[in-house]
Structure 1
């Protein structure tokens, strides 16, 4: 994050959305949040009155709203300290611009495919139950992976014996019967469409994407577009972005350089880095709301931002150009994007090939 008030405003607004997604606040998300330079004698670099603005709609004291938002803003890269002052103002002290960016990329590199996993649901012991229907089975399996990645313990059951072809879609069921916590709101595929038919038409990866990408209450996308090898197919675009990121690492090795850091990441790099920083929050929201479609949409956004970044700021030098610090920094961001894409696809039970 830069030291631009508009950038900080987006960060605060993102924290509000996270609080709403996580059911910590029940308010309409405002269209914008105003952030101002702290007045002489005040605390921090910037201040914001959003907690006072939301207190009424939330039916909570402004100080309580401020505490909910403080926790989420303080976790954002580039924010050094968040204080609550007066009746509920938030006061921000920012890190040097490069520090937060470096922390995000370091976290991705250190955690790998587990970037964004956590223990927020560690106290939860869950049992999901679903109908003997392929979309419900695949959704339950993806939700299991999401909540397990956030620390929950999960058991999944089906009302009847499983379809043997579910195993080829990666689905596992722990028990059969009718326990009391069904997964609801999942629109089934048309009558007569079986796992075996979907596997024959699409293979396991495209079939899972077609079942999981739409929200549970929407119709599953099971048309021939799932197999299109081009930009019109979101799954292809996501997997191609991952494969391209891995190819950049191989190309850099041939040129004799590796990824490194430089500051700041601005321009076309900024949206991609912000999406990577957002990834842990998206995974947690997907787990809390039993919504693997949120993860799929996040991966699409990362892929789109990756290609915009790649085209505007090539990570590999061209022609006789020598590798520079800028190329090493761009490569670090590209590699982080590839890791996020692979990790997200893995949670959805979909492979991320290094070559397409």
Structure 2
């Protein structure tokens, strides 16, 4: 019996009690069940009697007694005890608890998936680095977390489009092109330009495909270099993201907003909403009506749109493409963007507390990291991947809440010891895969399954932890917190290692015959393998079968 099945059983008992006139209360859609702090108190516990007792005009313990009587007759429930003011402690029969192992194995990669966010249509924008240089340490955290959040949202039933906003408009692109031009011609870096060896590499790559550009005058060469160097740098960004295991459904160009008149259209639409005013020749959006610290200029007095105007057009583009929920993942230096982006949503007629969500990630530091030789003044993501490894980097970044600063120790992350969390979890998966191979070699198969044979205390603990996976995934999605998955996987690994040390999947020596308990334990072993693999997949981390 899974926690979800137990929750449904409690709801059914409540409904039956209401129908029988034993209680009078509105039955909630779901009843929460949790693991008791002490295993002596049973397998699962619920405080539903405390929640509903007073609403039903009853003492919580009396309410709990009615529910306990009905729940005790549910198949698979071994015992129901009432504790304190009305807590229900539930112990499952061994067979009902052990049946979970088969459920997990048969579900395979689908186990953990749930429908908690079914019907939600989400646009997830993250990373969105300027296409004027390589990805660096500042982009690393959102690359890992943004991808992991997208994965857990999908696993919880949401329709998610991951999107990268390419800031390819504005003067920065001209400065970028001029930097490449100067490097090609052996000139100093222009004022405010981009240094770094990667600029020379871009110039060499561009000339290799377009040698005629070197002989053009600067005024004629800059537009062509801007396009060619931009494409080459964007290709480098995509390649680095792929090495990090991150992919996007959409790469959205800011330039397209200007080319198709979306910025002017956005201003017109916001004016119709009544939030535009004109002052001293400029066009303003009255964002202070919705919590911003000051009103924002959309069109300057000289007729040029601001970056904020493009932000407004981009938001409306997401709205027009049918994304009811828009999640922005921004860096630690973007706190000031939260209220202005929410104000855009409100000015566009949306609910700023429902239709837009802005997450701010804190900075990370890596002990001993050196500035990139290619970029000159930054620590490149590519270098971090080569140094630490994509798995260790992604797992470590996903292991902490986004709003907490992180200092990573690469030497610790490269250790093959249990105090290295990513190794601890991956080793549990590799160990379970090896155990399955060893069982096959000894002739143990999953032909036999008797859930009632899983009676060792470590088996009960492992089953209980494995049963929590769907609710952990749902909570991770609801709160945009993939660190819940990482911390949960460490619990699974700990429970698995304890069980592995206490029991045997294969017979002891040649004299012991293969018994049903061995095949049944193989089911449990493979259930742990499944949960570990599925959880690591949600974090974008590999699940090795050998280490």
> So what's the TM-score if we normalise by structure 1?
0.74
- The CA deviation at 1:159 is 4.3
Give distance in 2, aligned partners of 1:275 and 1:108: 12
Out of 128, 135, 142, which is 2:148 matched to?
142
Matches of 1:77 and 1:130, distance apart in 2: 47
Q: Structure 1 residue 188: deviation in Å?
A: 3.1
- Residue 199, structure 1, aligned to residue 199, structure 2: no
Alpha-carbon separation, structure 2, partners of 1:98 and 1:33: 18
CA contact (8 A) 1:262 1:325 kept: no
Counterpart in the other structure of 2:403:
217
**Counterpart among 514, 527, 533 of residue 323 in structure 1:** 514
Contact residue 134 and residue 166 of structure 1 kept, 8 A: no
Matched with 1:97 is 94
Change (3 A) 1:62 1:331: farther
Deviation at 1:286, TM superposition (A): 0.9
The reply to whether residue 172 of structure 1 matches residue 247 of structure 2 is: yes
* Correspondent of 2:47 among 47, 50, 75: 50
- What are structure 1's unaligned runs of at least 5 residues? 2-7, 13-23, 37-47, 83-88
The answer for the alignment partner of 1:248 in structure 2 is: 435
Partners of 1:282 and 1:123 in 2: CA distance: 20
Classify the secondary structure of the residue corresponding to 1:298. Answer: helix
> Equivalences for 1:1-80 in 2 at 5 Å?
50-54=47-51, 61=55, 78-79=76-77
Task: Judge conservation of contact 1:77–1:101 (CA < 8 Å) in 2.
Answer: no
The 3-state SS of whatever aligns with 1:158 is: strand
TM normalised by structure 2 equals 0.50
Q: What's the secondary structure of 1:182's corresponding residue?
A: strand
1:151/1:256 CA distance change after superposition, 3 Å: same
Aligned in 2, Cα 1:159/1:146: closer, same or farther, shift over 3 Å?
Answer: same
**How many Å separate the matches in 2 of 1:237 and 1:92?**
32
Would the alpha carbon gap of residues 81 and 118 (structure 1) be closer, same or farther in structure 2, given more than 3 Å must change?
farther
Q: 2: distance between equivalents of 1:139 and 1:289?
A: 13
Over 3 Å counting, the alpha-carbon distance change for 1:207 and 1:91 in structure 2 is closer
For the 8 Å contact 2:152–2:482, the answer to whether it is kept is yes
**Alpha-carbon shift at residue 204 of structure 1 (Å):** 1.6
Distance 1:314 1:300 in 2: 22
Query: Displacement of 1:301 after TM fit?
Result: 0.7
Distance 1:80 1:159, change over 3 A: farther
Paired residues of 2:462 and 2:499 also in contact (CA < 8 A): yes
Change (3 A) 1:154 1:300: same
Of 82, 95, 109 in structure 1, the residue corresponding to residue 105 of structure 2 is 109
2:224 corresponds to which residue?
Answer: none
Q: In structure 2, how many angstroms separate the alpha carbons of the residues matched to 1:32 and 1:235?
A: 28
Would the aligned equivalents of 1:52 and 1:62 in 2 still touch at CA under 8 Å? no
Residues 32 and 185 (structure 1), Cα distance of their counterparts in 2 relative to 1, 3 Å cut? farther
For the 8 Å contact 2:123–2:161, the answer to whether it is kept is yes
Question: Corresponding residue for 2:499?
Answer: 309
In 2, the alpha carbon distance for the partners of 1:349 and 1:334 equals 23
**Distance in structure 2 (CA, Å) of the matches to 1:49 and 1:93:** 8
**What is the match of residue 261 of structure 1?**
450
In structure 2, the residue matched to 1:20 is none
- Does structure 1 conserve the Cα–Cα contact (< 8 Å) formed by 2:102 and 2:524? no
The answer as to 2:327 corresponding to 1:181 is yes
Q: Is the CA contact (8 Å cut-off) linking 2:97 and 2:451 kept in structure 1?
A: no
Q: CA deviation at 1:336?
A: 0.7
Per-residue CA deviation, residues 125-157 of structure 1 (Å, 9 max, x unaligned), is: 011223432211221111111111121111223
1:210-247 residue CA offsets vs partner (Å, 9 max, x unmatched): 21112212215352211111212111111111111111
Question: Are residues 1:336 and 2:527 paired?
Answer: yes
Q: How many residues align?
A: 307
Aligned residues of 1:275 and 1:302 also touching (Cα < 8 A): yes
Q: CA separation in 2, counterparts of 1:30 and 1:329? A: 26
RMSD: 3.8
